[in-house]
Amino acid sequence: MTRTAVVAGVGPGLGESIARRFVAEGCRVALLARTASYVEGLAADLGEAALAVPTDLTDPDAVDDAFATVRREFGPVDVLVNHASGGSWKGVRDVSLAEFEHAWQVGARAGLQCSQAALDDMVGDDEEAATGGTIIFTGATSSVRGRGGAAAFSSAKFAVRGLAESMAREFGPAGVHVAHVVIDGGIRPPGRDVSNPEEYLDPDAIADSYWHLVEQDESAWTLELDLRPHVEAF
């Protein structure tokens, strides 16, 4: 079955690895990000199965337009990866209200709006006739443990986790698998070597886990998946 997938917040590293893995599995993948040159270049590399949709995820009108474009070009959305995040690395006394709000706009609000758009396709107006689908949220260590000096990022990540859990309980009965992935560690950066690669998560290996979530049988869905490099395990 050919699925239409949206990766909201794709960039070099994990976002790109997710897009590549989904294309390799036969999906049509829409790439949403603010930097047009990047998503257009990646789409050209991935071929006809990829669609570049330059989108400022903090702009509600732009998000609505993006999903309209995806439906027009690829059809209804079957899989959504809410991957966008942001936030200044400042503590409570130093972060501005604008910086704090921006982190929430990129993570929690954009995640909500993208999910609402995807749910229009996965559930529609009649849950009895829902086709279902998969929605995955990318989390971080800060999703479960607040980080000093990162008030905006940590609080936004907590909000995303709560949103994912609420959605899972609300839409699981309609056949929508909602999962939250805690990336508990640094991701190996693209295009450069690191001195201790064993201390980093491999973005391609993480992408394998995302695809596993898409393919899981509904009798044993994962709500939260916690990933970390083996040297940091537990």
> What CATH number is associated with residue 171?
3.40.50.720
Give the per-residue pLDDT at 128. Answer: 64
Predicted TM-score (pTM) of the model is 0.95
Residue 216: CB atoms within 10 Å: 14
- Domain count within the chain: 1
Q: Mean pLDDT of all residues in the chain? A: 93
Q: Which amino acid is at 200?
A: Y
pLDDT > 80? residue 191: no
Q: Which domain holds residue 206?
A: 4-232
What six digits make up the tokens of 208? 């394998």
The residues with which 5 forms a beta bridge, in sequence order, are 29, 79
**SS3 category, 171:** helix
**SS3 category, 94:** coil
pLDDT digits (tens, 9 = 90+) for 103-145: 999 999 999 999 999 999 999 776 666 789 999 999 999 998 8
**SS3 category, 160:** helix
The residues with which 136 forms a beta bridge, in sequence order, are 81, 179
Give percent of the chain above pLDDT 90: 81
Residue 178, exposed/middle/buried by CB under 10 A (0-12, 13-18, 19+)? Answer: buried
Q: Count of H helices and E strands in the chain?
A: 7, 7
